[in-house]
Chains A and B, each alone.
Chain A
């Protein structure tokens, strides 16, 4: 649970998790609250604190969602996106 931003009162409006990101918004990853091998794998793919991320496509059945991060398109299921903390930069 290290490094997890619980959302300070001041910036609460923009700190959220990746599954809440909407199309057109751009965000920055602040923490990856996932443990075990999957944490490594996400980092291998470029999802790590500091990465800018936005939605590229949503699967026709609603899940997973493909995100554009560091030049690659990575599809993540919703439960995984929930563990990735972000701050939304702009609408």
Chain B
């Protein structure tokens, strides 16, 4: 029943697209059938290894670096008010810079290779993770901190990271969608492979069904990553959702 509800709307939209586009003669809006044929021809082959996987690998690397950096810096900033007061204005500024404008600068610094693209992803993903981690760490219950002090429990590893995990997960979720966007954008400048690059190539070459199939693939990747994220979240935050549900009953 639940699965049915989840599937229903996408199925309707898909069917609608199929039917409405079926007789289309418009060059820029080909029938969905044509797009799907192009999808199979374009993506089930060498392109998986040449374009899709490298894109995903850069996303994975950038996202992982952003997680480590964001959480580590967030814990330090959240635990030390003096550090927070010092770095806050700088953080506000850096966070306000839209990551795509960093691309030309990063090209100067890091060239046009994988490093630049990973750095673009890091520069966008790190902020939501960092800021949410700071909030989570600041909100840690003082009684728990006292408990760690008295019972000699290592506070950061055993308490702070877990207590702040609901906020950290929120930041990580925001960062994931930013990461997908930046993965594509970083490949639209000065690139020779990747999903973003390929889509732009198709557009320039007037391979319109192929271009649409690339958009479709990016959407599917987004959905798959979100599902994967939910799976991880469910196991990491099981205690939190349980606690929330228990509190609501009272």
A binds B: no
Report which B residues bind A (CB closer than 8 A).
none
- Give me the interface of A with B, judged by CB distance under 8 Å: none
